[in-house]
Amino acid sequence: MYDYMFRNALVVDGSGGKPYRANVAIFGDSIAFIGSEGITRARNIIDASDSVLTPGFIDMHTHTDLEVLRDRDMKSKVGQGILTDVSGNCGIGVFPNSCEELQLAVEDVLGTYPDWSWKSWEDYRNLLLEGGIGINEVFLASHTALRYAAMGRDAGRKAGKEEIGRMCSMLDELLSSGVHGFSSGLYYAPCLFADEDELVALLSVVKRHDGFFAVHHRCEGNDVVASLEEVLSLAEKTGVRLEISHLKAIGRENQKYVPQMLDMLDEARSRGVDVKADQYPYAYGSTSLFSLLPPHILGLSRLEQRLALSLEGEREEIKKEILHPSAWDSVYQMVGPDEISIMYLENNKDYDGLSLSEVGKKKGKEPLDALFDLLSEEPGLAVMSDMTQSDESLKMIMKHPLVSFGTDALYSSPMPHPRSFHSTVEYISRYVVKEKVLSLEEAVRKMTGENADKLSLKDRGYIREGYKADLLLFSPEKLEADGEGNKGFNVIMLQGKPCLIDGEWHYKRTGCVL
């Protein structure tokens, strides 16, 4: 007898193919039967005739490395139908060690955790599994963690030959131990100090393991074309599979580059480069407020950054660099103070929710001076949001067949970006149901099968007999954001165990480290 049977479901199976009606039966943690025959041999029969049945969503780009310890049920992700996360993106991660420098370096994106007790990838993985997790997790080895492990606190510079060798040895060990790939954030310190020799050496290790390289490339703004060319060239030189993170062009003047960027992906594919990309469904983003500073300042410790910003002479030089950048993304210069808002300041909460222009007015100063004041006083978390791209560009990128779904979710502050809770609902309710940018089957492909293929997951991402029963039953027209939750999901099932059924939550910590 089967454990569950979805009767007369409209199956959107993750392949992008046409939806079809079927009965889908579950036994244990797997899909045991798909067919049109009437089945009554099930302990629990679910009438699915008014809903669609899809694979559980797979988030290709997220930052839940510490959130999965803080909230092991992972309500923020499971509650939007995401049953598999890919963590360790943008070169920001929590292993192979847990040194103090690493903890401080990742705090604005990953948040804090009281007890970094792990000393290795194996320790961290065991910690997750011992307490149980409510979601499947895939992990990438992060460039930031490798640099601190190999270079110590002096990671904000070019690496020497021996240091590169140490990074390669650690990466080789991680990829041999179940880590799926390697990520870098060439926009962020200390990754931005990596030269071609370092990157080629690391990517050659990734290629030997048939992993993939996920990258937040150096410039998403004025120099986006040259920056994109750099990572495409690295992939072509090493043969590594390339995943371009949160593909976009930042700044009003740079939206003109989007068609060229997409052509570059197609042309690289025609030359044999295995390149794809992911995207979150919002025109505005979120990251560290300190990331508005020039690269050489980002290479300093947080204490040294605050000291530099407190000195009048240093301030004027930093201001010139921000307003007249050379070969780096000055988000402030591209976006402007009206479109950059403070989401959270740990020690200056009076400014939360204000744009930098509004902060300037409140302090009676120019926006940059007001920003420098805040950052020079802030020893804790500092998170911002910024309007990064046009809606037209977002849709153009979304429709491209090489681009799949990700949330770029981060939970470092009490006021996170809505993508951390509602990305899937925004993706389907707005861009499928309302605006019809994508068909439902194409959207589901980008959220499930396509990402499973990128990750080489052999038994997830599709509704097929023998595959794991990570399943969602919902009505697309009824999906709706609701506070930090979402309405419209009838059943959310992780490995054959319902997390939500008939409106009642039964969080199950049946997730795996894949």
Which domain range does residue 29 map to? 2-55+461-505
Domain boundary among 436, 454, 472: 454
Do 380 and 240 have their domain in common? no
Do 342 and 407 have their domain in common? no
Identify the pLDDT of residue 39.
66
Residue keyed to tokens 């959220």: 447
Identify the pLDDT of residue 108.
87
Do 270 and 238 have their domain in common? yes
Do 229 and 333 have their domain in common? no
Identify the pLDDT of residue 307.
87
In the chain, what is the greatest distance between 2 CA atoms, to the nearest angstrom?
Answer: 78
How many domains are contained in the chain?
A: 3
Tokens of 380: 């804790």
Domain with 487 in it: what CATH number?
2.30.40.10
Do 309 and 237 have their domain in common? no
Q: In angstroms, rounded to a whole number, what is the distance separating the alpha carbons of residues 77 and 93? A: 19
Q: Helices 302-310 and 367-377 sit at what angle, rounded to 10 degrees?
A: 140
183 inside domain: yes
Do 340 and 403 have their domain in common? no
511 inside domain: no
Domain boundary among 386, 401, 417: 386
510 inside domain: no
513 inside domain: no
Do 96 and 230 have their domain in common? yes
100 inside domain: yes
Identify the pLDDT of residue 312.
85
Q: DSSP labels for 52-108? A: EEEEPEEESSEE-TTHHHH-TT-HHHHTTTEEEEEESGGG----S---HHHHHHHHH
Calculated CA dihedral for residues 153, 157, 162, 163, nearest 10 degrees: 50
Q: Give the 3-state DSSP-derived string for 455-488, with helices as H, strands as E and coil as C.
A: CCCCCCCCCCCCCECCEEEECHHHCEEECCEEEC
- 10-residue averages of pLDDT along the chain (514 residues): 94 97 96 84 92 98 97 95 98 93 92 93 95 96 97 94 98 97 95 97 98 96 95 98 97 95 98 98 87 87 86 89 87 91 86 92 93 87 86 97 96 84 96 98 98 96 98 96 89 96 87 95
Do 198 and 83 have their domain in common? yes
With vertex at residue 140, the alpha carbon angle to CA 135 and CA 141, rounded to the nearest 5 degrees, is: 140
Tokens of 30: 């797997």
Identify the pLDDT of residue 416.
79
173 inside domain: yes
Do 24 and 91 have their domain in common? no
| Cα radius of gyration rounded to whole Å, the chain | 23
- By three-state DSSP, how is residue 377 classified? helix
Domain boundary among 359, 386, 413: 386
219 inside domain: yes
Do 341 and 192 have their domain in common? no
Do 198 and 51 have their domain in common? no
Which residues lie closer than 8 Å to 155 by C-beta, 6 or more apart? 101, 144, 147, 148, 190, 193
Do 307 and 348 have their domain in common? yes
